Amino acid sequence: MLLDLALGTGVGLFFFLWVMGYNVLPLALLGGLGFMIWKLVIQRQVLKTTGKGIQISTTSIDFEDIGGQNAAKKELQEALDFLIYSDRMKALGIRPLKGILLSGPPGTGKTLLAKAAAHYTNSSFLAISGSEFVEMYAGVGAERVRSIFRRAKECARKEKKSSAILFIDEIDILGAKRGSNISHHEYDQTLNQLLVEMDGLGTEEGIRILVLAATNRAEALDSALLRPGRFDRSVKVDLPDKEGRLAILTIHTRNKPMAKDVNLEKIAQETFGFSGAHLESVANEAAVFALRNNVEEITMLHLREAVEKVMLGEKLDRKPTDEELKRVAIHESGHALLAEHLHPHSVSQISIRSRGNALGYVRHYPKDDLYLYTQSMLEEQIMIALAGALAEEEILGARSTGSAGDYEQALRLVEKILASGMSELGVIDVGNLSADQRQKVTRNILNDLELQTKRIIQDIKTVLIQLSEILQEEETISGEKLRSYLEVRIA
């Protein structure tokens, strides 16, 4: 933008002086020399940065090495068959695919799928991040786009392969909607060049290039990039379900010595919402715990400790006072007992050891992965969230600031009830509710659920006090041990 302004001003000044009768030849020579120097500087910068961030590798990763993404793998393999059987596709008049977009949360295996795609199609593999294309110098990003496509063809020829896969990670940085970066037109110029390069794919004989891109913000991409003829397919790479988590854990523990008591299916059940990266970290942290304990095998205890660390963070050195510890034990016992009352066998572990930002926690695991919730399910989750503060109030006479996170969770669940048309207002546009209306219906829902929760806590008050005392002594209680205590009423 500044360059365009400077050039326009210079040309205007040149013609003004020429019309006024001045000798503009020295000015023209000086301007030409300056332009040549600028061009050399830009070219040098392009040459310096063109290869920056590009990873060229011959990958041995196969689709069998990736667990938990069966649907994504199947869809991707079907799309890649267009590249493998290109002659058959050409005979049928099918145009080649130019791009495949992998979208999904971070850590779900998008990069691994791209590497497996290169192995599956016997293609050269080049990887680059979207941020590597954007520079402060005008024209550098566009030149880098041209260069990476040339580089892909050169690598394929060098490796004597007929195709190359160009993987662009974080493409939302490069391919954001045009006009979203008003102060920096270099973004738009770089995206325009990518569109031009993708339009040219498949129009010439020789090396076939397939662009694979990954993003966790597909909604931010420019519509011109997503239209057929550029990114022809969009493959959703979502968080794995229970079977997928079990497959991922099996892959990441196959090179580790596991004890006979290890049950990976239970760990898979307890890690709802974990990505592949989280599960790999669980397996690695469990091995670290085994090393710290100077044992030769990873046990179930190590794996559960690893799940807690990945979920909540490392243990804190700071120890609460005896009074704080008592309050935390009562708080967590309230959560745990109400959860067991509403959903038997749902508590995995209770702890009052400080981890991350939590002084204590109750870990739950569902019998099945649920993606749809009824009104009663949401209300029961709210009651479990409120139980900690209400247990403190019932036994100690007052609530504490430790319930702030529970209230935030409860309010988010109330918002789901409102948005799903499950409140007394029925189906509404939540955005059109006034602050007073929203506050009134939220308060009504929470008041009703607080009363129900209080009645349950009052009924189990004796058990709650006894459980909190045991928790203060042992610090951590497993779900199995909790249920055995409840069977004998902690007598």
* CATH number, position 99: 3.40.50.300
Task: Please report whether residue 453 resides in a domain.
Answer: yes
Q: How large is the average pLDDT for residues 56-75?
A: 78
- Count of the separate structural domains present in the chain: 4
Per-residue confidence (pLDDT) for residue 138, from 0 to 100: 53
Separation CA 308–CA 286 (nearest Å): 11
Query: Last residue of a domain, which of 312, 346, 368?
Result: 312
Q: How large is the average pLDDT for residues 443-456?
A: 95
Same domain flag for 202 and 326: no
**3-class DSSP state of 421:** coil
- In this structure, the strands spanning 163-169 and 124-129 are parallel
Asked if 390 and 453 touch (Cβ cutoff 8 Å), the reply is: yes
User: Which position has the token pair 């319930």?
Assistant: 403
- Which residue did the predictor score with more confidence, 472 or 54? 472
Nearest to 313 by CA among 372, 353, 265: 353
Helix axes of 404-419 and 375-396: crossing angle, nearest 10 degrees: 150
Per-residue confidence (pLDDT) for residue 102, from 0 to 100: 92
Separation CA 156–CA 105 (nearest Å): 31
Per-residue confidence (pLDDT) for residue 148, from 0 to 100: 86
Query: What Cα–Cα distance (Å) separates residue 95 from each residue in 89, 90, 361?
Result: 7, 7, 56
Per-residue confidence (pLDDT) for residue 186, from 0 to 100: 60
Q: Which residues contact 223 (CB under 8 A, 6 or more apart)?
A: 177
The domain that holds 460 is classified in CATH as: 1.20.58.760
**pLDDT at position 326 over 80:** yes
For 287-322, the DSSP string reads HHHHHHTT-SSB-HHHHHHHHHHHHH-SBPS----H
Same domain flag for 349 and 479: yes
Asked if 111 and 212 touch (Cβ cutoff 8 Å), the reply is: no
- Which residue did the predictor score with more confidence, 147 or 181? 147
DSSP character at residue 315: B
Per-residue confidence (pLDDT) for residue 464, from 0 to 100: 93
**Tens digits of per-residue pLDDT, 153-207?**
888 888 888 888 899 988 888 887 876 655 456 667 788 888 888 887 765 567 8
Per-residue confidence (pLDDT) for residue 1, from 0 to 100: 44
CB atoms inside a 10 Å sphere around CB 320: 15
**pLDDT at position 137 over 50:** no
Same domain flag for 475 and 334: yes
Nearest to 69 by CA among 100, 111, 97, 98: 111
Per-residue confidence (pLDDT) for residue 40, from 0 to 100: 54
In degrees, to the nearest 5, what angle opens at C-alpha 463 toward C-alphas 461 and 466?
A: 110
β-bridge partners, 347: 364
Task: Please report whether residue 317 resides in a domain.
Answer: no
Among the residue ranges 36-45, 80-89, 98-107, the one predicted with the least confidence is 36-45
β-bridge partners, 350: 362, 477
Considering the chain, what percentage of its residues have pLDDT values greater than 90? 27
14-23, 79-88, 109-118 — most confident range: 109-118
Same domain flag for 113 and 196: yes
pLDDT band at 453 (very low <50, low <70, confident <90, very high): very high
Same domain flag for 192 and 326: no
Task: Please report whether residue 112 resides in a domain.
Answer: yes
Same domain flag for 130 and 160: yes
245 alpha-carbon distance from chain centroid: 16
**pLDDT at position 3 over 60:** no
Same domain flag for 16 and 94: no
Burial class (CB in 10 A: 0-12, 13-18, 19+), 194: buried
Q: How large is the average pLDDT for residues 264-276?
A: 87
Task: Please report whether residue 482 resides in a domain.
Answer: yes
Q: How large is the average pLDDT for residues 291-316?
A: 87
Per-residue confidence (pLDDT) for residue 18, from 0 to 100: 63
Task: Please report whether residue 382 resides in a domain.
Answer: yes
The domain that holds 268 is classified in CATH as: 1.10.8.60
Same domain flag for 82 and 161: yes
Per-residue confidence (pLDDT) for residue 47, from 0 to 100: 42
Same domain flag for 298 and 399: no
231 alpha-carbon distance from chain centroid: 21
Q: How large is the average pLDDT for residues 326-355?
A: 89
Q: How large is the average pLDDT for residues 132-160?
A: 77
Q: How large is the average pLDDT for residues 125-143?
A: 71
Compute φ and ψ for 207, nearest 5 degrees: -70, 130
Q: Count CA within 13 A, CB hemisphere, residue 177.
A: 7
**Tens digits of per-residue pLDDT, 20-63?**
666 656 666 666 666 666 555 554 444 444 445 555 555 678 88
Task: Please report whether residue 188 resides in a domain.
Answer: yes
Per-residue confidence (pLDDT) for residue 454, from 0 to 100: 95
DSSP character at residue 100: E
**Tens digits of per-residue pLDDT, 415-442?**
999 988 898 888 888 888 888 888 999 9
β-bridge partners, 236: 103
Query: Last residue of a domain, which of 236, 253, 271?
Result: 236
- Which residue did the predictor score with more confidence, 256 or 9? 256
**pLDDT at position 249 over 60:** yes
Domain of 372, in residue numbers: 322-487
Taken in order 55, 58, 63, 66, the sign of the CA dihedral is negative
Same domain flag for 59 and 43: no
Task: Please report whether residue 340 resides in a domain.
Answer: yes
17 alpha-carbon distance from chain centroid: 60
Same domain flag for 61 and 119: yes
Active site amino acids: 332
Per-residue confidence (pLDDT) for residue 10, from 0 to 100: 62
Query: Last residue of a domain, which of 197, 214, 236?
Result: 236
Q: Which residues contact 375 (CB under 8 A, 6 or more apart)?
A: 417, 420, 422
Q: How large is the average pLDDT for residues 375-392?
A: 93
Same domain flag for 115 and 39: no
Task: Please report whether residue 455 resides in a domain.
Answer: yes
